[in-house]
Chains A and B, each alone.
Chain A
Amino acid sequence: MEDNKVKTDKTDQMSSPLKKSFKADSRQIERRVKLSGFLKSVFAVSIAMTLLVLVFLLVDIVRDAVGWLDWDFLTGNLSIFPEKAGIFGAIMGTVYMMLIVIPVTFILGVSTAIYLEEYAKPGRLKDFININLSNLASVPSVIFGLLGLALFSRLMGLGGSILAGGLTMSLLVLPIVVVAAQEALKAVPGLLREASYGLGADKWTTVSRVVLPVALPGMLTGFILGVSRAIGETAPLVVLGIPTLIMKIPQSVMDDFTTMPIQIYYWTLDTVLTPEYANLAAATIVVLLVVLFLMNSVAIFIRNKFEKKF
């Protein structure tokens, strides 16, 4: 079949009538060039609007936060008096939660992706799992909160502990991590695997020595983005019933806790009675944004650093 194709291509070229019948219309070209210039400005305006909104948001928040965001705010504990309140508990809550989310999602997520991409035979079951994973990645976080409430808080009796929150957040992040890791594995050229098999390597040797080193930067990028989503999420924890006011720093994973987004959420609820809470929320938002910004920078840094190798 391929041979026939090649032949017809050749005959087409030989008896090409195109040269005689077609002449470029210069007015048409001018119109297209103008359209191209016009579209360029449309795109430029779009990005300007996006940036404008972002700048407005940042300016608004930073203005509210100025004067409130200081060392005492970062290291202090919660208080009903706005002047004394700090978010050390919330920061530690986030940190503790991450201590659960990071290992759970990385180990489960990467292993799942390796199984699906490297071991599972193509077929309906694999397609079914893949479709469900992509769907899970777009399920609203509240739903995961409800699942966590039923499974971890009630059934396993973990209540509103760090463990329950961390596991719920892990469920939320897991599909994102799996899909990102799958994409990273898919991007590894098949001829590298072939080279390894051709030298007598078995599957795991090939995966661990050839595929994973190439896929790891991509996996990490997706992983960090997934984890930073967990840091910013509020809804699942609200559903779990994380307490409003926690005066002590969590000591173990079974303790009650609060996180930065939760703190922002509760403070903004009470701004009518206590206007200063708006400033506290703004200061917390700044801290949260800085953390997320740092994490995304790390993700970009990893991606750029390892991409240069090829």
Chain B
Amino acid sequence: MTTIENKEAVFQVRDLDLWYGDNQALKKISFDIYKNEVTAIIGPSGCGKSTFIKTLNRMVENIPIVRTEGKILYHGNDIFSSDLRVEELRTQVGMVFQKPNPFPKSILENVLYAPKIHGLKDKNLLMEIAETSLKSAALWDEVKDRLNDNAYGLSGGQQQRLCIARALAVQPDVILMDEPTSALDPIATAKIEELMESLKNEYTIAIVTHSMQQAARISDRTAFFLMGEMIEYGDTKNLFTNPRDKRTEDYITGRFG
């Protein structure tokens, strides 16, 4: 870690190992994710980048054969600690998935799903949350007249922004994005990238992407993963213009992957 500054680390990952059965998918990963930044994780398919990001909110444990070792500190608290409830962690660390996955419910019900299940009943407050979340996700103007329509009637890009709005409605601290634009066309992708730029003022964002151009465009810091190992981590500009490791250089110049 070359750039030590007075930025606050939201996640501190220390010597993280992860196995799928006997297969080690992550090897001794250590780095920090800083507040109000976009941290990109890049690497070829199968390098463990999606696995890693799903470890940050412990979604990876939905696969029963997963085993982890090492530490991930979230604001100083170990997320693997037994007195931490994963449900509570996930209200703080929201997630947007590779494929848009709205519920087969109305647009409004999608956005309000999390606030409702977490006990909010006040109708005015709920509507307020819906509006601000949809506005933050740059979707409000497109859907404000049809909030009660089924979310499946939206385009793919709109659905993905709805999923972002749905994640924002829980009032999280961090948003994890697992290749959020890989199923979208270039225009929808541009919109989501623009959105991330504005979201990082209030949220910390970690994004997995297979597109190096995307990482270069939107992220402040980049981590390069290869075969379960983190090869290089640093300031995005530095990493792309002046990679320290030969393998990073080979990857970003397109020599493999």
Answer yes or no: do A and B interact: yes
Q: Is the CB of A205 within 8 A of B117?
A: yes
For residue B247, give the distance in angstroms from its CB to the closest CB of chain A: 13
The answer for the CA separation of A191 and B159 in the assembled complex, in Å, is 13
Main secondary structure, interface of A, reads helix
A194-215 vs B, Cβ < 8 Å mask (1 yes, 0 no): 1111111110010001100110
Given contacts A197-B62, A199-B117, A209-B117, contact A192 B46 (CB under 8 A): no
Known A1-B46, A122-B64; contact A200-B170, beta-carbon cutoff 8 A: yes
Interface residues as binary, B17-39 with A (CB distance below 8 Å gives 1, 0 otherwise): 00000000000000000000000
Which B residues are CB-close (under 8 A) to A27? none
| A181-199, CB < 8 A from B | 189, 191-192, 194-199
Docked CA distance A86–B99 (Å): 61
A197 pairs with B101, CB closer than 8 A: no
* B87: Cβ under 8 A from any A Cβ: yes
Q: Which residues of the other chain, A, contact B152 by a CB distance below 8 angstroms?
A: 309-310
Q: Does A40 contact B (CB under 8 A)?
A: no
Cross-chain contact B104 with A198 (CB below 8 angstroms): no
Q: Let me know if A9 is at the binding interface, CB within 8 A.
A: no
Q: A25 near B: Cβ within 8 Å?
A: no
> How many whole Å from B104's CB to the nearest CB in chain A?
6
Task: Find chain A residues with CB under 8 A from B83 CB.
Answer: none
A198 touches B103 (CB 8 A): no
Interfacial residues of chain B within 76-119, with CB under 8 A of chain A in the complex = 87-91, 94-95, 97, 99, 101-104, 113-114, 117-118
CB pair A200 B113 closer than 8 Å: no
**Cβ A198 vs Cβ B94 within 8 A:** yes
Q: Closest chain A residue to B100 by CB distance? A: A191
Of the four ranges (under 10, 10 to 19, 20 to 34, 35 or more), the interface on chain B belongs to 20 to 34
Chain A residues whose C-beta falls within 8 Å of the C-beta of B94 in the assembled complex? 198-199
Closest chain-A Cβ to B186's Cβ sits at a distance in Å of: 22
Q: Tell me the chain B residues, 32-61 only, with Cβ under 8 Å from chain A.
A: 44-46, 57, 59
Q: Which of A3, A195, A197 is in CB contact (< 8 Å) with B103?
A: A195
Contacts of B95 in A (CB 8 A): 198
Least CB separation from A203: chain B residue = B87
| Bound Cα distance A210, B114 (Å) | 12
The reply to whether A2 and B117 form a contact with Cβ atoms under 8 Å apart is no
Bound: A213/B106 CA distance, A: 13
Is B64 in contact with A198, judged by CB distance below 8 angstroms?
Answer: no
Given contacts A198-B59, A198-B97, A209-B117, contact A310 B104 (CB under 8 A): yes
Which one of B45, B101, B113, B257 contacts A191 once the chains associate, using CB atoms below 8 Å? Answer: B101
Mask: chain B, 59-73; 1 = CB below 8 Å from A; 0 = not? 100101000000000
Asked, given contacts A205-B117, A209-B117, A310-B152, whether A199 binds B62 with beta carbons under 8 Å apart, the answer is: no
Let me know if A195 and B163 touch, CB within 8 A.
Answer: yes
The answer to whether the Cβ of A20 comes within 8 Å of any Cβ in the partner chain is no
Q: How far is the CB of A309 from chain B (nearest CB, A)?
A: 6
Residues of B within 8 A of A (CB): 44-46, 57, 59, 62, 64, 87-91, 94-95, 97, 99, 101-104, 113-114, 117-118, 150, 152, 163, 166-167, 170, 256-257
New contact pairs (5) apart from A3-B257, A191-B101, CB-CB < 8 Å: A3-B46, A197-B62, A199-B91, A199-B94, A201-B117
Closest 8 CB pairs of A and B: A200-B91, A191-B101, A200-B90, A198-B95, A199-B114, A195-B101, A200-B87, A2-B45
